[in-house]
Structure 1
Amino acid sequence: MINDLTSFDIANTVSMLRSSHKGPIVVVEGVTDSRLFGKFIDRDDVKIIIAHSKDNVRRSVAEVWGKRNDKKVIGIVDADIDRLLGMTVNPPIFFSDKRDLEAMMMSSGALDDLLAEYSEPEQIEKFEEKYGSIREVIARSSYPIGLLMFISMTEGIGLYFKDMDYSYFINKKTLAIDIMKMINSVFAQSVNKSIGKKDLADKIFEREELLDDPWIAVRGHDAVAILTIGLQNAFGSYNCLGIKDGQVSGALRLAFGLDYFEDTDLYKDTVKWSARNGFVLWINQ
């Protein structure tokens, strides 16, 4: 049923809510987005609506803001590969700072807070002395996966990225990625392989030279999976041996507080725009 919802359905939901709510409405892609932004709003004054897809966010906000003249609605979406394509958005639609919200949180101080809770300080120190900061290591090991997905999408290769076995191509102790093993892993579960593995690796190396910020290419899902491997094998506390990706993602979301959110471009841009339009979105605005 959720997959059958159209942008017009979401727009109608916004319009029906107007009979009881006159304040701002934030339209987001999914449930976890709603949980995250729900921490930063006054729930009596601001409502969040889940659109269940990026396209639904964009189209529904365009409908209610443009055609129905509801000027207290904004949409927040993941940047995904749009920034890699040089694409931008205009208010009332706003991008996540990085490729998605998980990557945005991972690149913030929330990662440090999570590590303080779930890791051993001595092991962190030893790891970072050898390999660099955990944040940088995770970015280095994550962005080749994101670039491969970008290449697959933009060149119509049709590779399959779900249910990847990260432990096959991520070193459990150093968190370094083996790019050829990563490509082999993706190929093993993909049907359409219209390009050679060596050619794909070359394309990744060509693309990475163009990256100003690796986090633009990093998928949060990949970064969390790699962090989980690190917690299980390299620098986690004794109770992290069985920790799962979902637990790590949830802990990251809890650690991402208002102070970290206020440092993002997303926060700053939405504050400026909502103030110009006469309403308040966030609790500390």
Structure 2
Amino acid sequence: MREHLTAEDICNELSMERTVYDGTFLIVEGITDCRLFGKFADADGTRIRIAHSKDNVRGIVREMTSRRGDGRTIGIVDPDLERIRGRDAKPPLFHTDCRDMEMMAIRSNALDDVLDEYCDIEKRERFEETVGPIRDAIVSSSYPIGLFMYISRERGLNLSFKNLDFHRFINPRTLGLDANEMVSEVLDNSRSVRVGRRELVSTLSQEAERLDDLWKAARGHDTIEILLIGLRKTFGSFNAADLDEGSLGGALRLAFSDEDFRKTDLYRDTQAFAEMRNLSLWDLS
């Protein structure tokens, strides 16, 4: 199956394809990235290839450019935790603006369009009068989860953040996060943890004070799950009842427009790189 292909396997395919194609190869992590960037790519001059992992994207770009001398291969990956560590990608590898692609859409007008579609107007107004803008609320509640993931990786704790019960630590009326309950949920979801909850909550608080930008830590999966709680419990209209993470994420990608993409650092940097090398890449209206 294609998801088991190595970076070298994919590079060999690209090298064979070069015999008949002289355009740009845009290498992305997965199918959702392909769907999103496919909306903006130059259909004639750019071919998008799925690498099936971040490591594969990096490996393909490195192999094609450094070892095979192909100057028409560009890669895009999510930075995940790299920006918290103070690291950034170097062309021809590029990072999305936020921690991942979903957060890039949430930061844009795409979220406003999705909220217009799925919110009850009066319920939304009451929420925002009391709590504040929905975008601020969901990011403020999701970034501690992403920051806790950073702590886990930096300290080698191997905590599990899969299949968390968000209702345990998210207040449905305010979308506020209970840090103690969140840490307890992650610990209960993990195995062989030698660090106590109180110490981890204290560490999380210390890291939060040092964090200079919430968007570096907030993860799309968590933010969408929190938004779902709000739509289902507090400010959603009747058509929000059947939403799940996949459909809401898809709605955000569909709403992410040419104009939204044009405002991103990712577009600016990749377009400048392509123009300097006379490469085809994007085709925005």
Q: TM-score range by the shorter chain?
A: over 0.9
Name 2:51's counterpart in structure 1. Answer: 51
What CA distance in whole angstroms lies between the structure 2 residues aligned with 1:78 and 1:138? Answer: 20
Name 2:13's counterpart in structure 1. Answer: 13
Cα shift readout 1:71-100 (whole Å, capped 9, x = no counterpart):
111000000101111112110000011111
What CA distance in whole angstroms lies between the structure 1 residues aligned with 2:118 and 2:15? Answer: 44
Contact 1:106 1:252 in 2 (8 A): yes
Contact 2:42 2:280 in 1 (8 A): no
TM-score (norm 1): 0.97
Q: Please, which runs of 5 or more residues in structure 1 have no aligned partner? A: none
Name 2:68's counterpart in structure 1. Answer: 68
TM-score (norm 2): 0.97
Contact 1:228 1:244 in 2 (8 A): yes
Contact 1:233 1:241 in 2 (8 A): no
What CA distance in whole angstroms lies between the structure 2 residues aligned with 1:48 and 1:101? Answer: 16
Name 1:152's counterpart in structure 2. Answer: 152
Name 1:181's counterpart in structure 2. Answer: 181
Name 2:137's counterpart in structure 1. Answer: 137
What CA distance in whole angstroms lies between the structure 2 residues aligned with 1:14 and 1:119? Answer: 45
Name 1:276's counterpart in structure 2. Answer: 276
Q: Secondary structure, in 3 states, of the residue corresponding to 1:202? A: helix
Q: Which moved more, 1:41-50 or 1:215-224?
A: 41-50
* Letter in structure 1 aligned against 2:192: N
What CA distance in whole angstroms lies between the structure 2 residues aligned with 1:90 and 1:172? Answer: 41
* Letter in structure 2 aligned against 1:178: D
Following superposition, which runs of at least 4 residues in structure 1 exceed 6 angstroms of deviation?
none
Cα shift readout 1:185-225 (whole Å, capped 9, x = no counterpart):
11112102121111111111111112221011001000011
- Taking only aligned residues, the RMSD between alpha carbons, in angstroms, comes to 1.2
Name 1:225's counterpart in structure 2. Answer: 225
Contact 1:98 1:215 in 2 (8 A): yes
Name 1:24's counterpart in structure 2. Answer: 24
1:105 counterpart = 2:133 = no
* Letter in structure 2 aligned against 1:95: H
Question: Could you tell me how far 1:11 is from its partner in structure 2?
Answer: 1.2
Question: Could you tell me how far 1:25 is from its partner in structure 2?
Answer: 0.9
Name 1:41's counterpart in structure 2. Answer: 41
What CA distance in whole angstroms lies between the structure 1 residues aligned with 2:178 and 2:203? Answer: 15
Question: Could you tell me how far 1:161 is from its partner in structure 2?
Answer: 0.7
Q: Please, which runs of 5 or more residues in structure 2 have no aligned partner? A: none
Q: Which moved more, 1:208-217 or 1:3-12?
A: 3-12
Q: Which moved more, 1:215-224 or 1:234-243?
A: 234-243
